[in-house]
């Protein structure tokens, strides 16, 4: 892809920087200028790392000048979701409770990106502790969708999705616990990937629900997403759940086409509650495009996927209630003293009352209840059984199909505030994405046309565990067949 510096693809930027055709510093400045022009409207970032990024870019340029290869992502600006630890740089999870905390370490993915030559440009906004589907639950105010500033970018990685859609960075990282990369990717018209559980180290990702969380890339192209995923995946001794085998290469078969692949359209996903007709239509068109390209496409049933949402809303809050217990005011972040004569319990209570937002409190309550004596078997235990059923149903489907297809989100981006008073309606946004988290399988969202409102729609490509290579192969074919998407409202002219 050619074009102005800030709209070049990551792969193009890296190639140009490595050849010395453009400096990392220049690439960065163009993106910073874009941020300067658009950020006040979008609010993608909690923090823009201007100085740090300039130092990183200078180091890349110095390496190139010295004849060294700074790596496959040389000079590529990348936005990081603000639940990824960055050494000495505030990491907030968009929560008051972490106020003032600077991690003394980098997340493994942050280290790997730096080693690949990428330049961290900022920490992006999110739903507090990654809990939400619209990025309206941030303690620092919502992020807005670059395609329509009155609408949400999706969530919880809404800041990262918006940063890429707005051209603030060619690529970004998010985290996906129930769809938090794929759903905002769909709503913002970009590519978003949730890899196989264990493919990317979670070390330094501030946990929401440990057994579901995975870090994944956002990009404007499938090829860029593959390049970022390849840079961050692989075994990590600091994460026990990290897979030990060499990772599948996401970028291996991007140009192979889909001839002969068996693709199943999941009837439960396309027929799920509240899916808009536009979304169903785009999913059908995507399937037809793949069929036209030589794939064998059929409908397939994954019955237990219907129960994914219910199981998820027991398992994820249960783990979250435990993961978030450490924010007690004793060691770091916010502390609200209990007042004269108060005991330590009072201090915990006041700290947590003041530090957490409504949605986080709601999920801590849900999770505490689901795990408590007398309810464990009926709720958490049952949800784990459902999870096993979902894994089995997917395994059955993957006996007949290489790849499954479905919608990513039920509709296009909705107006800010439209669902904030109805948590259940909000939760339904993840109905199509959640099953892959429960199964631990990879899935990604690829932009495929728009709704009647002109806003982007994403189609979801699902694969069996470690099926990333085939998943990207199909995603690349879909990308090639997709109707072109209009640039978001923030234009090059606004920068100049």
Partner 1 sequence: MTSTTAEISWEIVVGLEVHAELRTRTKLFCGCANSFGQEPNTNICPVCLGLPGSLPVLNRTAVEFAMRVGRALNCHVQPSIFHRKNYFYPDMPKDYQISQYDLPINTDGWLELPGGTRIGIVRAHMEEDTGKTTHVGGGGRIHGAAHSLVDYNRAGVPLVEIVSAPDIRSSEDARTYVDELRSILVAIGASDGKMEEGSLRVDANVSVRPAGSEQFGTRCEIKNMNSLRSLGRAIEYEAERQIGVIRDGGTVIQETRHWDESTGRTGSMRSKEEAYDYRYFPEPDLVPLEPSAEWVAEVEESLPELPAERRMKAGSASGIAADQDAVVTVVRLDLDRYLDNVVASGASAETAAIAVRRLANEVAAEIDSIGNLDPKAFTSLVTMESDGSLNPMQSRAVLKEMLASGGDPEEIAKRLGFEAMSAGALEEVVNRIVSEHPNEWERYVGGDDKLTGFFVGKIKAATGGNADLKEASALLRSKRGT
Burial-class residue 54 by CB neighbours within 10 Å (0-12, 13-18, 19+).
middle
Binders of partner 1 among 305-324, rule CB under 8 A?
Answer: 318-319, 321-322
> Taking the complex as a whole, how short is the minimal distance between the CB of residue 178 and partner 1, in angstroms?
15
> Taking the complex as a whole, how short is the minimal distance between the CB of residue 15 and partner 1, in angstroms?
33
87 is an interface residue for partner 1 by CB under 8 A: no
Q: What is the DSSP string of 26-76?
A: HHHHHHHHHHHHHHHHH--EEEE-HHHHHHHHHHHHHHHHTT----TTTT-
Say if residues 28 and 119 touch (Cβ distance below 8 Å): yes
Give which of 123, 130, 76 is closest to 103, Cα–Cα. 123
Binders of partner 1 among 107-146, rule CB under 8 A?
Answer: 107
> Taking the complex as a whole, how short is the minimal distance between the CB of residue 129 and partner 1, in angstroms?
10
Rg (CA), the chain: 21
Is 156 annotated in the active site?
A: yes
What is the token pair recorded at 66?
Answer: 């010295």
Give which of 237, 291, 244 is closest to 264, Cα–Cα. 291
Please tell me the count of residues contacting partner 1 according to CB under 8 A: 44
Q: Which of 19, 68, 238, 255 binds partner 1 (CB under 8 A)?
A: 238
Across-strand partners of 205? Answer: 84
Q: In 3-state terms, what secondary structure has residue 237?
A: coil
101 is an interface residue for partner 1 by CB under 8 A: yes
Q: Give me the catalytic one of 9, 23, 81, 94.
A: 81
55 is an interface residue for partner 1 by CB under 8 A: no
Tell me, residue by residue from 163 to 192, as one string, x for binding to partner 1 by CB under 8 A and - for no binding: ------------------------------
Kindly tell me which of 306 and 386 has the beta carbon lying closer to partner 1.
386
> Taking the complex as a whole, how short is the minimal distance between the CB of residue 415 and partner 1, in angstroms?
33
Give which of 114, 109, 113, 115 is closest to 242, Cα–Cα. 109
Q: Say how far apart CA 319 and CA 495 lie, in whole Å.
A: 44
Say if residues 429 and 177 touch (Cβ distance below 8 Å): no
202 is an interface residue for partner 1 by CB under 8 A: yes
Q: Give me the catalytic one of 9, 138, 175, 180.
A: 180
Give which of 331, 351, 323 is closest to 339, Cα–Cα. 351
Kindly tell me which of 104 and 339 has the beta carbon lying closer to partner 1.
104
Q: Say how far apart CA 27 and CA 367 lie, in whole Å.
A: 45
Across-strand partners of 175? Answer: 215
Tell me, residue by residue from 378 to 397, as one string, x for binding to partner 1 by CB under 8 A and - for no binding: --x-----------------
Q: Which of 126, 200, 206, 457 binds partner 1 (CB under 8 A)?
A: 206
326 is an interface residue for partner 1 by CB under 8 A: yes
Is 81 annotated in the active site?
A: yes
> Taking the complex as a whole, how short is the minimal distance between the CB of residue 182 and partner 1, in angstroms?
21
Tell me, residue by residue from 331 to 350, as one string, x for binding to partner 1 by CB under 8 A and - for no binding: xx----------xxx--x--
Is 233 annotated in the active site?
A: no
For the chain, how far is it from start to end, CA to CA, in angstroms?
21
Which residues carry out catalysis?
A: 81, 156, 180
Chain residues that interact with partner 1, rule: CB under 8 A: 84-85, 91, 93, 98, 101, 103-105, 107, 202-207, 209-211, 237-241, 318-319, 321-322, 325-326, 328, 330-332, 343-345, 348, 368, 371-373, 376, 380
């Amino acid at each position: 892809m050619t074009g102005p510096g800030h709209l070049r693809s990551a792969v193009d930027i890296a190639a140009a920087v490595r050849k010395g055709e453009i400096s990392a510093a220049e690439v960065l400045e163009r993106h910073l200028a874009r941020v300067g022009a658009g950020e006040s409207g979008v609010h993608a970032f909690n923090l823009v790392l201007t100085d740090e990024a300039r130092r990183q870019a200078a180091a890349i340029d110095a390496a190139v000048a010295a004849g060294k290869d700074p790596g496959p992502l040389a000079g590529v600006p990348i936005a990081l979701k603000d639940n990824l630890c960055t050494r000495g740089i505030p990491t907030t999870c968009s929560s008051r409770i972490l106020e003032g905390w600077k991690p003394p370490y980098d997340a493994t993915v942050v280290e790997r990106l730096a080693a690949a030559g990428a330049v961290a440009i900022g920490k992006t906004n999110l739903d507090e502790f990654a809990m939400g589907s619209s990025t309206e639950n941030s303690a620092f105010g919502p992020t807005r969708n670059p395609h329509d500033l009155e609408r949400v970018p999706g969530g919880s990685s809404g800041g990262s999705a918006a940063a890429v859609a707005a051209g603030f960075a060619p690529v970004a990282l998010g985290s996906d616990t129930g769809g938090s990369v794929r759903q905002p990717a769909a709503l913002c018209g970009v590519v978003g990937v949730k890899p196989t559980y264990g493919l990317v180290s979670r070390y330094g990702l501030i946990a929401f629900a440990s057994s579901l969380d995975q870090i994944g890339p956002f990009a404007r192209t499938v090829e860029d997403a593959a390049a970022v995923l390849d840079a961050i995946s692989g075994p990590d001794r600091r994460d026990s759940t990290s897979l030990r085998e060499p990772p599948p290469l996401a970028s291996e078969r991007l140009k192979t086409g889909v001839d002969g692949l068996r693709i199943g359209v999941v009837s439960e996903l396309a027929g799920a509650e509240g899916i808009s007709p536009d979304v169903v239509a785009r999913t059908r068109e995507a399937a037809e495009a793949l069929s036209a390209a030589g794939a064998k496409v059929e409908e397939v049933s994954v019955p237990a996927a219907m129960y994914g949402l219910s199981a998820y809303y027991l398992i994820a809050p249960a783990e979250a209630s435990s993961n978030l217990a450490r924010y007690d005011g004793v060691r770091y972040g916010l502390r609200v003293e209990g007042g004269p004569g108060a005991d330590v319990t009072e201090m915990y209570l006041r700290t947590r009352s003041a530090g957490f937002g409504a949605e986080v409190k709601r999920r801590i309550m849900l999770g505490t209840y689901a795990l408590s004596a007398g309810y464990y078997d009926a709720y958490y235990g049952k949800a784990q059984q459902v999870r096993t059923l979902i894994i089995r149903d997917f395994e059955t489907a993957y006996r007949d199909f290489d790849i499954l297809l479905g919608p990513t989100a039920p509709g296009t981006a909705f107006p800010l505030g439209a669902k904030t008073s109805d948590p259940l309606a909000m939760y339904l946004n993840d109905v199509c994405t959640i099953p892959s988290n429960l199964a631990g399988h990879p899935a990604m969202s690829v932009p495929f046309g728009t709704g009647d409102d002109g806003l982007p729609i994403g189609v979801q490509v699902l694969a069996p565990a470690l099926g990333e290579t085939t998943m990207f192969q199909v995603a690349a074919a879909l990308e090639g067949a997709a109707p072109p998407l209009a640039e978001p409202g923030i234009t090059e002219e606004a920068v100049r």
